[in-house]
Amino acid sequence: MRYAALLATLALSCASHAESPSDRYEIDPEHLTVGFLVEHVGFAKVFGMFREAVGSFRFEEETGELSDVRVVVQTKSVFTGVEARDRHLRSGDFLAVEEFPEMVFEADRMVLEDRGGELAGRLTIRGVTKSLTLSITWNKSGESPLPGNPYVAGFSARGRFERSAYGMSYGVLDGLVGNEVELILELEAQRQ
């Protein structure tokens, strides 16, 4: 009887370990940077950012598996440091924030090798969804020295896309505003 109980306990323990999901992480909005660079008349690139975004993902440190990635950006929070330009970016020529208040990046799964890799996902802007691959680096994981000592994982990601593919073609033909957008993501996320 004891032998049967021991086997049952062992089997249950192994099953629960095998089925345990990756740890869920919530991105800390105070330590999330969603930035971009776009050429202006070919002279230089303008740097901008979005000040409001949230997100989450699952991450298994032992295997390097990253999954269920979702980042939601509030388009009205676009900021370049010039109010007139920011108003233009919020208009129908670009983000059309009244009609499309969110920009979303989602990805299913990848396995990091040597702390990096390519994360294939989908970017939705202005109701248009296109494939986007981000080059991602896992910077560090561990207990934070911040109050409460949360367990934190930090990542950096970079990507590029053509804004005209999302219906933002203002200034492309005459070369006033570059078509290619360089995307910059820096984030810290707390394990839940």
- Residue 29 forms part of a structural domain: yes
- Residue 32 forms part of a structural domain: yes
Q: What are 69-86's pLDDT values in tens digits?
A: 999 999 999 999 999 999
Task: Give the C-alpha distances (Å, rounded to integers) separating 126 from 35, 53, 74, 87, 170.
Answer: 18, 16, 12, 16, 14
- Residue 4 forms part of a structural domain: no
Mean pLDDT of 50-71: 97
Which stretches does DSSP call E strand in the chain? 23-40, 44-50, 53-60, 65-74, 78-79, 102-111, 116-125, 128-143, 151-162, 180-191
Give the pLDDT of residue 146. Answer: 85
- Give the whole-angstrom CA distance, residue 11 versus residue 162: 52
Give the pLDDT of residue 4. Answer: 44
3-state secondary structure of 5: helix
- Residue 42 forms part of a structural domain: yes
Q: Which domain holds residue 45?
A: 21-191
- CATH number of the domain encompassing residue 133: 2.40.128.110
Is a pLDDT exceeding 80 seen at residue 6? no
- Give the whole-angstrom CA distance, residue 156 versus residue 34: 10
Is-contact 181 160, C-beta < 8 A? yes
The total number of structural domains that make up the chain = 1
Which token pair is 54? Answer: 């949230």
